[in-house]
Amino acid sequence: MSQQAVNGVPCRGKVLTLDNMNPNVRRVEYAVRGVIVQRALQIEKELKEGVKKPFTEVIKANIGDAHAMGQKPITFLRQVLALCSYPDLLEDNKFPEDAKQRARRILQACGGHSIGAYSASQGIECIRQDVARYIEKRDGGISSNPDNIYLSTGASDAIVTMLKLLVCGEGRDRTGVMISIPQYPLYSAALADLAAVQISYYLDEDKCWSLDVAELKRAINAARQHCNPRVLCIINPGNPTGQVQSRQCIEDVIRFAKEEHLFLMADEVYQDNVYAEGCKFHSFKKVLFEMGAEYSSTVEMASFHSTSKCYMGECGFRGGYMEVINMDPEVKAQLTKLVSVRLCPPVPGQALLDLVVNPPQPDEPSYNTFMKERTAVLAALSEKAGLTEKIFNTVPGIICNPVQGAMYTFPRITLPQKAIDKAKEEGLVPDMFYCMRLLEEEGICLVPGSGFGQREGTFHFRMTILPPTEKLKIVLQKIRDYHMRFTQEFS
Ligand SMILES: Cc1ncc(COP(=O)(O)O)c(C=O)c1O
């Protein structure tokens, strides 16, 4: 601690320094907004200041932020939110009657009839009821109890909250949490923050990033030497790998969770984003209940959904929910207490979620426009998923699995040894070196595969399929040319 005097006043230095701050926070990494994105922002600034570059704009294909990539909001969702935000508009005849009805119903449920009021910590009750009805309909009538629904600040908040509840113990007793590799870095970041033990299980790239129970067994057996595995996290459809799990695979996973006495966390934020023929979204809840009482009354689970993905892409509203199943009632009381500390999720996000789970019905005036817009977004994503796979697979040195669902592709890239050596020389991991050069030369911002985890000695990048189709074609062409140039330069 420094004791130097400044103007005669003894200075003891900062109370909070890198050396004495929470070491768990220092260990947190979040590649999706990491150094490469910071450099992309800097380049954007330089372009604005007139610095000459080989490109005129930075295309940020690093994050699943649909509206930032130009996707238009769904009219009905924004109409109701506009009405909720400024209720004087309820007198305006430009708004359809069904939008007004929804807004009135939501406002009726808000404190002081304003979305500016705090709500109940678990979320507005009538919205939780709508969520439960949505789940029942989605899952072919399997019942859902609104008491088991917790509205959240996006899915991220609910995922972190669940992990907080689950992590305990010291030394070899510390909770181990199984996450896929590659993974969405929220998970590794949250585990670092909570000082939980990360148990990595690898998805099988050669089988379209599928999940194999034998690999789960390998990972859990190895982890038992140093921690207490208690949680299994699954992302379906997958981020960053874009795979959609088969029903059989989900059944196998549930059986494994029961046998190994694990709490299941099913991240299903991409449940409407399924594109590949023969693939279908199966919720873990539905499969669990179809497996019979032996499973449905015992396996503990939380599943997550969000307003940020699917056809909505309303990331900024921070809407989401989780449903908990078979949770011990005393723990559930603790969960309710824990969420009450943060008062409540954003009420506009809750209102938006309500519209997602309770969209316009065929006999309502907004139905046709709503369906047209929804279908157009999903059809465009489906087209872009196919296009991405097709174009990448024409490039020697890039292998791309089908983008069956979600919003990303995670192609494997072959990097020449000289490039790997050069990266080392510059103190960068090889796929970061590759992505940084792509950013500097072409203005395209991707995330290196190392930010998500990958098998030793393999290299990837993650790219979203969100840019508008014509722009995406240019991006793919530019990556293709860059990859060939890069390979030639280092061969
Ligand atoms: C798999 C997955 N889970 C959770 C989230 C978090 O979403 P949000 O907090 O915006 O709902 C994301 C965001 O990209 C994601 O890809």
Nearest CA to ligand 1 atom 16: 239
What pLDDT score was predicted for residue 28?
86
The rounded distance, in Å, linking the Cα atoms of 410 and 239 is 9
153 CA: nearest ligand 1 atom: 9
Domain range 118-357, CATH class: alpha beta
Q: Is 88 exposed, middle or buried (0-12, 13-18, 19+ CB in 10 A)?
A: exposed
This prediction has a pTM of: 0.93
The rounded distance, in Å, linking the Cα atoms of 35 and 436 is 9
Pocket-forming residues, ligand 1, beta carbon under 6 Å? 64, 154-156, 184, 186, 235, 239, 267, 269, 306, 308, 315, 320
| Ligand 1 probe mutation, 269, 315, 464, most atoms within 8 A of CB | 269
The rounded distance, in Å, linking the Cα atoms of 404 and 274 is 6
| Ligand 1 probe mutation, 187, 188, 309, most atoms within 8 A of CB | 309
Centre of ligand 1 to C-alpha 253, Å, is: 21
In this structure, the number of other CB atoms found within 10 A of the CB of residue 383 comes to 14
Domain 23-70+370-489 falls under CATH 3.90.1150.10: yes
Centre of ligand 1 to C-alpha 306, Å, is: 7
Centre of ligand 1 to C-alpha 269, Å, is: 7
Q: Tell me: the pLDDT tens digits for 320-349? A: 999 999 999 999 999 999 999 899 999 999
- Report helix, strand or coil for 149: strand
CA distances from 72 to 46, 330, 356, 374 (A): 28, 44, 16, 11
What pLDDT score was predicted for residue 32?
66
Length of the chain: 491
155 CA: nearest ligand 1 atom: 11
320 CA: nearest ligand 1 atom: 11
Q: Tell me: the pLDDT tens digits for 110-122? A: 999 999 999 999 9
Q: Which residues contact 299 (CB under 8 A, 6 or more apart)?
A: 254, 257, 258, 264, 288, 325, 326
Distance spanning both ends of the chain, measured CA to CA? 51
What pLDDT score was predicted for residue 326?
98
Structure tokens at 422: 């050069």
Where are the CATH 3.90.1150.10 domain residues in the chain?
Answer: 23-70+370-489
Q: Tell me: the pLDDT tens digits for 28-37? A: 877 667 789 9
Q: Tell me: the pLDDT tens digits for 275-301? A: 999 999 999 999 999 999 999 999 999
- Report helix, strand or coil for 323: strand
In this structure, the number of other CB atoms found within 10 A of the CB of residue 98 comes to 19
270 CA: nearest ligand 1 atom: 1
The rounded distance, in Å, linking the Cα atoms of 302 and 288 is 12
240 cis-preceded (ω within 30 degrees of 0): yes
Low-confidence ranges of the chain (pLDDT < 50): 1-2
Where are the CATH 3.40.640.10 domain residues in the chain?
Answer: 118-357
Structure tokens at 162: 């669940």
